[in-house]
């Protein structure tokens, strides 16, 4: 990692770390319209309500996990989102992004959709943050997958 020294520790409220979860088939209604099948949220685990899949859409069960990662770059704490999806025989995408906490909305940083068949991985850019701020300083990590 060069100048970057990554610390991966269990995340505790107000500390720097990594949180990972596995989710299958859950997404907010607005996201479903964009082709999102499911995802992971640093704050909530699964994201929203699932959408039913059948026939050619579900050749194999998808497996998805996400993580909030942190490191120190030049003496400053940085954070990013990291997502992985495995969906055998199905062309799909994974997206990793940092999003503002409510009541603010919007995307702080995104990997964009990373497409592939079988397995995909997406990583958002590192963004400086304050791990001691009540809102975790710079939003929450969220990952999504879909077709």
- pLDDT tens digits, one per residue of 81-113: 999 999 999 999 999 999 988 777 889 999 999
Q: Which pLDDT belongs to residue 61?
A: 85
For residue 52, pLDDT beyond 50:
no
Q: Which residues have CB under 8 Å from 71's CB, separation 6+? A: 1, 4, 5, 6, 7, 77, 78, 126
- Once rounded to an integer, what is the mean pLDDT over residues 44-55? 54
Q: How confident is the model at residue 141 (pLDDT cuts 50, 70, 90)?
A: very high
Stated pTM of the model: 0.69
Q: How confident is the model at residue 115 (pLDDT cuts 50, 70, 90)?
A: very high
Q: Which pLDDT belongs to residue 17?
A: 36
How many CB atoms are located within 10 Å of the residue 63 CB? 16
DSSP characters over 29-50: HHHHHTTEEEEEETTTEE-SB-
Q: Are 35 and 44 in contact (CB under 8 A)?
A: no
Q: How confident is the model at residue 137 (pLDDT cuts 50, 70, 90)?
A: low
């Amino acid at each position: 990692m060069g100048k970057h020294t990554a610390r991966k520790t269990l995340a505790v409220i107000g500390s720097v770390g990594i949180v990972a979860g596995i989710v299958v088939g859950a997404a907010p209604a607005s996201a479903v319209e964009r082709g999102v099948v499911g995802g992971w949220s640093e704050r909530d685990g699964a994201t929203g309500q699932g959408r039913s899949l059948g026939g050619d859409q579900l050749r194999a069960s998808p497996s998805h996990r996400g993580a909030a990662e942190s490191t120190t770059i030049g003496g400053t704490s940085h954070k990013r989102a990291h997502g992985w999806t495995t969906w055998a025989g199905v062309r799909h995408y994974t997206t990793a992004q940092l999003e503002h906490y409510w009541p603010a909305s919007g995307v702080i940083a995104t990997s964009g959709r990373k497409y592939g068949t079988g397995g995909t991985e997406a990583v958002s850019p590192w963004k400086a943050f304050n791990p001691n701020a009540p809102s975790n300083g710079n939003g929450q990590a969220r990952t999504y997958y879909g077709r």
